[in-house]
Structure 1
Amino acid sequence: MRSRYAPAYEGESLRKFLAGEPDDLPWMQDWLSMVREAASEGKRFARVRVMSMPLTDYNRFGLAVSAHNNAAGEDIRYLGRDKAESAALPNHDYWLFDSRKLVRMHFDDADRFLGGEVVEDTAEIVQHNYWRDAAWHHAVRRDDFATEQHLGLV
């Protein structure tokens, strides 16, 4: 949902992206290995990223990097903020695990991740499952989104 995140480990890769320099994304390799292994076992990783237009530099970077996620077996899709708002989606980040465990993400004003809050309220978990399904319904595949935005990242 956010237009920017500020994890320290991405800083050098973001700088290289903005400068047009190649990068092997060392901070991301463990995640990609885990996704590849889990996907080979039939596990599914999927997410929808809500994007404001025009895209921020960070969102363009994330869109470029997501090609690696998708190649590893994660399915990342994109949704414009206007469509998210018209679908009444929430304005916060969260993860659902097996549609049963909800973790709501918290960030400070400088876009740094503060931690995840495990939410156990069943009604709230059901609501977030509904929002996930609505977001997925309206979202487009990563490559299609990149093409629509004329980013040349496909």
Structure 2
Amino acid sequence: MPQFIEDDTFGMYFEEFEHTAWRLETRRGYGSDRAGDKYRRYLETGEVPDDSQRPWCVNVRAQTERGKRIERVRIVDNPPTHEQRFLLAAAAVNNAVGENIRSLWRTDAEKAALPATDFWLFDSRRALVLHFDDADGYLGAELVEDAERIVRFCQVRDTAWHHAIQREEFVAQVSSIV
């Protein structure tokens, strides 16, 4: 069983990184999204509210204004699940405050042999591997500092980023399959 960090220390990684914070998201949905009001409103209206003043966005803005990068690649099914459509819509706010969220079709991720592992990579030195149960519920984050595993995460990052598509272009592709 992996050794999880204390949940109350999770946020400090996003304040203390020096250059880059990068994430791979591989799941078809997240229990925390499905449980939230924002997701329910999206299902009812098809719209995502501007919540650019929430703590995550405030920190992203502060970090990127210091010249740091916060990026992620989301793996998306074809057709996208409701949760993936929600995340694609919600990414507009994140991108507007300085985060760079891109998407990659699952078939392309599989061709590139990307793992089905969600993780954050910080400064190419440490990672938080996110663990979930079968219902997409968050179980905890495992701190990884082993050089061999970090090199593999860096390779995954480079491959995923190379193949990922910017949000606006991806939205157009999704719209064309509906």
TM-score, length of structure 2 as denominator length = 0.79
Structure 2 unmatched runs, 5+: 1-25
CA shift, 1:5, in A, is: 0.1
Q: Are 1:48 and 2:64 counterparts?
A: no
CA shift, 1:10, in A, is: 5.2
What is the RMSD computed on CA atoms of the aligned residues? 1.9
Per the alignment, residue 101 of structure 1 pairs with: 126
CA deviation digits over 1:32-78, x for unaligned, max 9?
01101111111100010011111111110000000000000000000
CA deviation digits over 1:81-108, x for unaligned, max 9?
1010110111110110011111111001
Distance in 1 of aligned mates of 2:33 and 2:72: 22
Q: Kindly tell me: are residues 90 and 23 of structure 1, through their superposed partners in 2, closer, same or farther at Cα, counting changes over 3 Å?
A: closer
Structure with higher RCO (Cα < 8 A, 6+ apart): 2
Per the alignment, residue 81 of structure 1 pairs with: 106
Q: Are 1:128 and 2:153 counterparts?
A: yes
Report if the CA contact (8 A) 1:79-1:138 is conserved.
yes
Structure 1 unmatched runs, 5+: none
Per the alignment, residue 65 of structure 1 pairs with: 90
Per the alignment, residue 20 of structure 1 pairs with: 45
Amino acid at match of 2:82: D
Distance in 1 of aligned mates of 2:149 and 2:47: 42
Amino acid at match of 1:80: W
Task: Point out the more displaced range, 21-30 or 69-78.
Answer: 21-30
Q: Tell me the number of residue pairs that the alignment of Structure 1 and Structure 2 aligns.
A: 151
